[in-house]
Structure 1
Amino acid sequence: MQQVIVITGASAGLGKEFAFQLAAQGFSLLLIARRQQNLQHIQAQILQQYPEIAVFYISFAVFAVILALPHSI
Structure 2
Amino acid sequence: MPIPLLVAFATVIVPIVVIVVTMILYARYEKKHTLEWYGKKSVKRLVMFVIAANVAVIILSTCLLFILGVQ
TM-score (norm 2): 0.31
Please say which structure displays the higher CA radius of gyration. Answer: 2
Structure showing greater relative contact order (alpha-carbon pairs closer than 8 Å, 6 or more residues apart): 2
TM-score (normalizing by structure 1): 0.30
Structure 1 or 2: larger helix share? Answer: 2
